């Protein structure tokens, strides 16, 4: 089904070299101007036939140009300039007239219309994939597979026994599914544990607060840290009030406008507080909605800055302390954290493939990360993304399809610690980056997707728009910008096109990195649709005759 439609046959035009044509007409007494013009346009006719395109263009470029120079002595200045202008224009426009100019990375160049027609032939394949996963025997399969894993194993923190067990189970699952080249690629990953933790407001009243220590944070002394609180809403306010922060616990009550803006306080809050002499920091959870739910995540220390304990608190407690401070109340909090870091642990990226039939060395990569934080079940982040990526290969295999390029599934480890597993995968495979046509990562939820986010050249984007048009039966056809992801950004920065699902981010960040990230959040019907999008896009791009063009 991936074969191109037969092209209409072109009329065969007898080929006579431009210099021969010029000699013929000049011999019979035509003027030099007419002689050369006839030579140009007879060349144009011959170039229209692609079978003699290269020979004719070469002949026109060199022999006719030389002939022009010989006759130049007999031509007026204006006439000579006119003919040179005609020569340059014809040489540059003829490739476009032949319909062979704009697409392709290598020697084979194709028009967009030809690529569009090729993609249109995948309509029946796309419908088969959609029918199988949304309405057929594979319906709800990705949901049920995910539920079995997370109910059995639970959350899968980097360096934990749970993550190690999940990787072993997934290796067995992928082999049992009949996928090819199933293997584990070893990596070293961080090992941090939160231990026992608590926070109690002692003044102006007793109030036990819900907290979650942030990843890589140090712990407090066994007796904890008891100190007055300074509430700020921004880094700028912290700088202005720097002298007031010394010896206190800094509480950040930054507003949530979007994730990328708010997450800076989780990542850098401890460092900025330590710079002004704070003893600890508590960060308002980076969440679009809260039901008294703290949201954890990674934070980073900075060389040369003292390390202080740091944790996230609920939106509700951050706002309450902000109101108290605005009234002039003295706020005192006791913080206890048993967090501890251990030597790096052994782990693995989990890999499986459907080997390409024609270009097996070329790759379309689909992925999600298998690790999670140590709260909830890690069902949404990123169990769903990992399992629709597995489902994509399962659907393609079930339909008996084998794309021209290799479809490679990678389930990353230690994504939550900053893409540790994927970074080491990139270092291992980057020498072959020119063979990666597309890298895909699902890590923003598997609710009902509204489209595909894509990063790549303009030429690749219009191709992806045609691919997404195949998903019209489920009304998901948008192609938007910024198809990045923690685990695929290494490849995107190397020029490889990247894609991710566009999902309901408000819902996603309501449960992100919290106790609420469980199977209850997941919807099997929405996962079916997400898996269909993932499978159609990955298969079609892997089966196109040419790789996606790069910038």
Q: Which residues are annotated as catalytic?
A: 415
Q: Which helix (H) or strand (E) holds 155?
A: none
Tokens of 265: 């306080």
Query: Cis bond leading into 493, ω under 30°?
Result: no
Query: CA triplet 258, 276, 234: central angle to 5 degrees?
Result: 20
Which candidate, 225, 233, 226, 222, places its Cα nearest to that of 262?
233
| Whether the bond into 382 is cis, omega within 30 of 0 | yes
Asked if residues 262 and 252 have their Cβ atoms less than 8 Å apart, the reply is no
CB under 8 Å, gap of 24 or more: what pairs does 324-329 form?
324/204, 325/229, 325/230, 325/231, 329/203, 329/204
Residue identified by tokens 């007796």 is: 223
Which backbone phi and psi does 499 adopt, to 5 degrees? -145, 150
Could you give the strand order of the β-sheet that contains 225-232, starting from the edge strand earlier in sequence? 207-209, 197-203, 332-337, 225-232, 249-252, 280-284, 310-313, 211-213
Q: Mark 486-522 as b/e (b = at least 16 C-beta within 10 Å).
A: bbbbbbbeeebbbbbbbbeeebbbbbbbbbbbbbebb
**Selection from 115, 206, 190, 128 nearest residue 401 by Cα:** 128
Q: Where are the alpha helices (DSSP H) in 356-502?
A: 384-398, 420-429, 458-469, 489-493
Exposed, middle or buried, 322 (CB in 10 Å: 0-12/13-18/19+)?
A: middle
Angle at the Cα of 432 from the Cα atoms of 190 and 536, rounded to 5 degrees: 85
Run of H or E residues at 345: strand 340-354
Quick check: 231 and 331 in contact, CB under 8 A? yes
DSSP 545: S
Q: How far apart are CA 161 and CA 373, in angstroms?
A: 13
Phi (first) and psi of residue 268, to 5 degrees: -115, 0
Q: What is the DSSP string of 182-224?
A: EEEEEEEEEEEE--SEEEEEEESS-EEEPEEEPBT-----TT-
What whole-number distance in Å separates Cα of residue 200 and Cα of residue 206?
A: 7
């Amino acid at each position: 089904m991936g074969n191109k439609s037969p092209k209409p046959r072109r009329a065969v035009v007898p080929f006579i070299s431009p210099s021969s044509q010029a000699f013929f007409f000049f011999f019979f007494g035509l003027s030099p101007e007419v002689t050369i013009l006839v030579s140009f346009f007879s060349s144009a006719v011959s170039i229209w036939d692609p079978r003699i395109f290269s020979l004719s263009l070469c002949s026109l470029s060199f022999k006719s140009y030389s002939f022009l120079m010989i006759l130049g002595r007999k031509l007026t200045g204006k006439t000579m300039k006119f003919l040179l202008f005609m020569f340059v224009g014809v040489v540059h426009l003829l490739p476009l007239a032949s319909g062979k100019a704009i697409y392709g990375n290598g020697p084979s160049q194709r028009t967009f219309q030809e690529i569009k027609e090729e993609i249109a032939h995948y309509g029946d394949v796309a419908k088969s994939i959609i029918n199988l996963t949304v309405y057929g025997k594979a319906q709800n399969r990705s949901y049920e597979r995910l539920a079995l894993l997370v109910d059995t194993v639970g959350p899968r923190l980097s360096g934990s026994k749970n993550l190690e067990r999940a990787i072993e189970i997934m290796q067995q699952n992928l082999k049992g599914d009949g996928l090819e080249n199933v293997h584990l690629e070893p990596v070293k990953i961080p090992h941090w544990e939160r231990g026992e933790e608590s926070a109690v407001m002692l003044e102006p009243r007793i109030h036990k607060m819900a907290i979650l220590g942030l990843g890589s944070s140090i712990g407090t002394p066994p007796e904890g840290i008891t100190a007055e609180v300074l509430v700020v809403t921004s880094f700028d306010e912290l700088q202005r009030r720097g002298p007031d922060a010394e010896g206190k616990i800094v509480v950040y009550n930054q507003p949530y406008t979007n994730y990328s803006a708010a997450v800076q306080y989780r990542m850098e809050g401890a460092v900025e507080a330590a710079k002004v002499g704070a003893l600890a920091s508590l960060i308002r959870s980076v969440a679009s909605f809260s039901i008294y739910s703290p949201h954890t995540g990674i934070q980073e220390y900075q060389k040369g800055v003292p390390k202080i304990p740091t944790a996230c608190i609920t939106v509700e407690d951050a706002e309450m302390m902000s109101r108290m401070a605005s009234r002039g109340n003295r706020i005192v909090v006791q913080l206890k954290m048993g967090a501890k870091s251990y030597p790096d642990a052994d782990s693995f990226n989990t890999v499986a493939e459907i080997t390409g039939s024609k270009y097996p060395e070329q790759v379309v990569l689909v992925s999600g990360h298998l690790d999670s934080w140590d709260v909830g079940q890690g069902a949404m982040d990123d169990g769903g993304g990992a399992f629709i990526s597995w489902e994509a290969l399962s659907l393609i295999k079930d339909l008996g399809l084998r794309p021209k390029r290799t479809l490679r599934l990678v389930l990353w480890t230690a994504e939550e610690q900053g893409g540790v597993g994927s970074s080491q995968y990139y270092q291992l495979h980057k020498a072959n980056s020119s063979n990666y046509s597309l890298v895909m990562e699902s890590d923003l939820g598997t609710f009902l997707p509204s489209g595909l986010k894509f990063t790549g050249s303009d030429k690749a984007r219009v191709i992806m728009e045609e691919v997404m048009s195949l998903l019209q039966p489920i009304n998901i056809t948008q192609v938007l910008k910024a198809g990045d992801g923690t685990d695929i950004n290494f490849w995107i920065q190397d020029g490889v096109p990247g894609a991710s699902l566009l999902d309901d981010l408000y819902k996603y960040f309501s449960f992100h990195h919290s106790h609420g990230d469980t199977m209850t959040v997941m919807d099997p019907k929405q996962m079916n649709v997400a898996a269909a999008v993932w499978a159609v896009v990955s298969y079609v791009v892997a089966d196109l005759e040419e790789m996606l063009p790069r910038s």
